[in-house]
């Protein structure tokens, strides 16, 4: 814990200034900083075993900013509550189709989708456990998602607009 606090004190102002430049918002910057700090606290034992904790903090801050940015874009894309009310039932129906189409994926694509997208394993962890480079894992996951999308479009009759899934019909 002591090593975490030392690294945090050494890095906090640099991280904050970098985030503020990226977000242009003091509130968003403070939210992201809090998330990074909480994540570091949850992993404090592992953090203290790292050779370079400051690098980890910078990487986590960057990742947290990217996640925040993606969520922000998704929320802006969804728009008003009326759109959300239309999308949520469709997503529920789509989830019912997913178990039926997963077995139709090639085995290595199904494996990476199940572990990374459905079970929340990080791509780095997947790479390590499966003897792949991180770049190979990212490429495999991208190809798996493309294959899954093609199967969903065909089998579940998913239609997609610029804002996301716009209709769904369970194939008979």
Whether 134 has a pLDDT exceeding 50, the answer reads yes
Residue 6, Cβ neighbours under 10 Å: how many?
13
| Arch. (CATH architecture) of 80-167 | Orthogonal Bundle (1.10)
Helix, strand, coil share of the chain (percent; to 5): 80, 5, 15
Q: State residue 84's pLDDT score.
A: 45
Average pLDDT for residues 49-75, to the nearest whole number?
A: 79
pLDDT value of position 132: 92
Q: What is the CATH number of domain 2-77?
A: 1.10.1740.10
- Phi/psi class of residue 5: alpha, beta or left (left: φ > 0; alpha: ψ in -120 to 50)? alpha
Ordered by start, the domain boundaries in the chain are 2-77, 80-167
123-162 burial: b if 16+ Cβ within 10 Å, else e: beebbeeeebeeeebbebbeebeebbeebbeeebebeeee
Q: What is the pLDDT of residue 8?
A: 85
Confidence at 136, pLDDT banded by 50, 70, 90: very high
- pLDDT tens for 81-97 read 444 445 445 555 566 67
For residues 141-164, give the mean pLDDT.
Answer: 76
Please report where in the chains the tokens 């394993």 appear, as a residue. Answer: 121
């Amino acid at each position: 814990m002591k090593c975490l606090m030392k690294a945090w004190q050494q890095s906090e102002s640099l991280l904050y200034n970098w985030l503020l430049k990226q977000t242009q918002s003091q509130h968003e910057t403070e939210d992201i900083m809090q998330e990074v700090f909480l994540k570091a606290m949850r992993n404090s034992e592992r953090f203290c075993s790292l050779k370079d904790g400051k690098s980890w903090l910078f990487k986590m801050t960057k990742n947290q900013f990217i996640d925040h940015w993606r969520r922000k874009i998704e929320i802006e894309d969804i728009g008003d509550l009326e759109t959300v009310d239309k999308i949520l039932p469709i997503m529920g129906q789509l989830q019912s189709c997913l178990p039926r189409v997963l077995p139709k994926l090639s085995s290595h694509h199904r494996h990476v989708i199940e572990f990374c997208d459905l079970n929340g394993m990080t791509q780095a962890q997947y790479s390590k456990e499966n003897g792949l480079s991180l770049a190979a894992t990212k490429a495999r996951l991208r190809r798996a998602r493309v294959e899954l999308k093609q199967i969903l479009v065909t089998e579940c009759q998913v239609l997609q607009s610029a804002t996301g899934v716009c209709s769904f019909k369970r194939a008979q």
